[in-house]
């Protein structure tokens, strides 16, 4: 086993962001985070005080999403949200980048948008969600560089509500773009310990997932066979497989699919499993 079960747990932001979430589920989330000693619970702003109270005095951080999930709100609103959730007990904020502005190459605006949140967070950890599924590689790289320049502590792949989840390919690209001193959080579609290990191998230092318990419990099986970690079909982890015309801008979708044609694994891309 490349890392221990406990080490894996400490990398996980135990996440519950669905709109229908009841208070009892937030309580369950916090209790699980305490049991497994996850890094944090990742929640919507409305639950911040309740979670902070439940986790008070523990090693589990309270991580709250900002401008979520679209990132298209006003900078002032993002900053206000950040200030308020930190005041109410959040120690980490995950903000969504202004994706449209990034694609417009309006880098000054994007930088300022992030900088305002970093400032409002008042020392709390800030992670910037790029929503990689809406971007081509160059835009992802640019998003990473700007986030770093603006003083953010992490870049993060996805919201989990966008067109794609995290892929090792994107994590690797983001790690290369930000260097070794900044955090990279992989989030979206991480459901098994194998997904988790792939992200860690690609350079992730934090994992956002609503399957934290399942990942940790599943990882216990790894102690009984090495065969779990045999390679899978290459398409399984490729962002181009996840691309969807229904969910992505046409040019982004085609950018991903064009790569399939020249991929060295093209002949293996016959079935969709």
Partner 1 sequence: MKDVQILWVSLRQQSAKEVPFSSDNYAKFLGGRGLGVKLLYDRVNPEIDPLSPDNLLIFAVGPLTATSVPTAGRFAVVTKSPLTGTIFDSNCGGYFGPQLRRAGFTAVVIEGRATSPVYLWINDDEIEFRSAEPVWGKEVSNTTDQLLDETDRKAQVACIGPAGENQVKLASIMNDKHRAAGRGGVGAVMGAKNLKAVVIQGTKKVTVSDEKQLDQVVSRVRRLLKKDSITNKSLPVYGTAVLVNLINEYGLLPTYNFQEGTFNDAEGVSGEKLLERIFVKRYHCFGCPIGCGRITRAYGEEGGGPEYETIWALGPQCGINDLEWIAAANNRCNELGLDTISLGSTIGCAMELVQKGNLDAQLSFGDTEGLIKLIDEIALAKGLGAELGEGSKILATRYNAPELAMQVKGLELPAYDPRGVQGHALASATSNRGGCHLRGYMIGPEILGSPVLVDRDRIEGKAGLVNLFQNLSAAMDSMILCRFTTFAFSVQDYADLVTAATDLSVNGKELLQIGERIWNLERLFNIREGFSAKDDCLPPRFSKPLPEGGSRNRIVHLEKMLLEYYRIRGWSSQGHPSKAKLKQLNIQ
Q: Using the minimum distance from each CB to partner 1, give the nearer residue, 60 or 222.
A: 222
List 224, 250, 261, 264, residue binding partner 1 (CB under 8 A): 224
Instruction: Measure the CA dihedral 259/261/264/269, to 10°.
Output: 110
Q: Using the minimum distance from each CB to partner 1, give the nearer residue, 163 or 212.
A: 212
Distances (CA, A) of 129 to 20, 133, 147, 217, 262: 22, 11, 9, 27, 29
* Chain length of the chain: 273
Question: Is residue 230 a contact point for partner 1 (CB under 8 A)?
Answer: yes
What's the number of CA atoms in the CB half-sphere (13 Å) around residue 152?
33
In the chain, the N- to C-terminal Cα span, in Å, equals 26
CB of 9 to partner 1, least distance (A): 14
Question: Is residue 267 a contact point for partner 1 (CB under 8 A)?
Answer: no
CB of 228 to partner 1, least distance (A): 6
- Applying CB under 8 A, the site for partner 1 has a residue count of 23
List 107, 169, 228, 255, residue binding partner 1 (CB under 8 A): 228
Of residues 163-192, those binding partner 1 (CB under 8 A): 191-192
Q: Using the minimum distance from each CB to partner 1, give the nearer residue, 182 or 229.
A: 229
Report the distance separating Cα 257 and Cα 232, nearest Å.
Answer: 20
Question: Is residue 119 a contact point for partner 1 (CB under 8 A)?
Answer: no
Q: Using the minimum distance from each CB to partner 1, give the nearer residue, 218 or 239.
A: 218
**Positive or negative, the Cα torsion across 74, 80, 83, 85?**
negative
Residues assigned a catalytic role: 94, 156, 185
CB of 62 to partner 1, least distance (A): 22
CB of 173 to partner 1, least distance (A): 24
Residues 6+ positions from 117 with CB-CB distance below 8 Å: 66, 67, 75, 78, 79, 82, 93, 95, 126
Q: Using the minimum distance from each CB to partner 1, give the nearer residue, 236 or 255.
A: 236
Question: Is residue 271 a contact point for partner 1 (CB under 8 A)?
Answer: yes
Report the distance separating Cα 114 and Cα 103, nearest Å.
Answer: 15
Question: Is residue 4 a contact point for partner 1 (CB under 8 A)?
Answer: no
List 56, 58, 201, 214, residue binding partner 1 (CB under 8 A): 214
Contact region for partner 1 (CB under 8 A) — 101-109, 127-135, 200-208, 219-227?
A: 219-227
Tokens for 178? 């930000």
Distances (CA, A) of 115 to 20, 119, 139, 155, 166: 31, 6, 19, 14, 24
b (16+ CB within 10 A) / e for 258-271: eeeeeeeeeeebee
* Residues in touch with partner 1 (CB under 8 A): 191-194, 213-214, 217-218, 220-221, 223-228, 230-233, 236, 271, 273
């Amino acid at each position: 086993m490349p890392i221990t079960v406990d080490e894996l747990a400490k990398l996980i932001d135990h996440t519950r962001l669905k709109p229908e979430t009841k208070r009892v589920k937030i309580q369950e989330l916090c209790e699980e985070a305490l049991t497994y000693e996850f890094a944090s619970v990742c929640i919507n702003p409305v639950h911040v005080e309740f979670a902070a109270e439940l986790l008070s005095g523990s090693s589990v951080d309270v991580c709250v999403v900002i401008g979520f999930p679209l990132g298209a709100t006003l900078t002032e609103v993002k900053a206000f949200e950040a200030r308020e959730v930190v005041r109410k007990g959040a120690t980490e904020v995950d903000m969504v980048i202004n994706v449209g502005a990034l694609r417009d190459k309006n880098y000054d605006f994007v930088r300022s948008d992030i900088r305002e949140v970093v400032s409002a967070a008042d020392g709390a950890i800030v992670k910037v969600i790029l929503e990689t599924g809406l971007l081509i590689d160059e835009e992802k790289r640019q998003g990473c560089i700007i986030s770093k320049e603006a003083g953010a502590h992490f870049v993060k792949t996805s919201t989990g509500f966008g067109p794609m989840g995290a892929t090792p390919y994107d994590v690797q690209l983001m790690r290369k773009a930000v260097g070794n001193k900044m955090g990279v959080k992989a989030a979206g579609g991480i459901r098994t310990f194998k997904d988790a290990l792939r992200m860690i191998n690609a350079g992730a230092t934090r994992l956002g997932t609503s399957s934290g318990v399942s990942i940790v419990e599943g990882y216990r099986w790894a102690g009984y066979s090495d065969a779990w970690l045999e390679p899978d079909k290459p398409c399984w982890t490729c962002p181009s497989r996840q691309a969807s015309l229904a969910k992505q801008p046409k040019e982004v979708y085609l950018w991903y699919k064009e790569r399939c044609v020249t991929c060295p694994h093209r002949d293996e891309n016959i079935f969709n499993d």
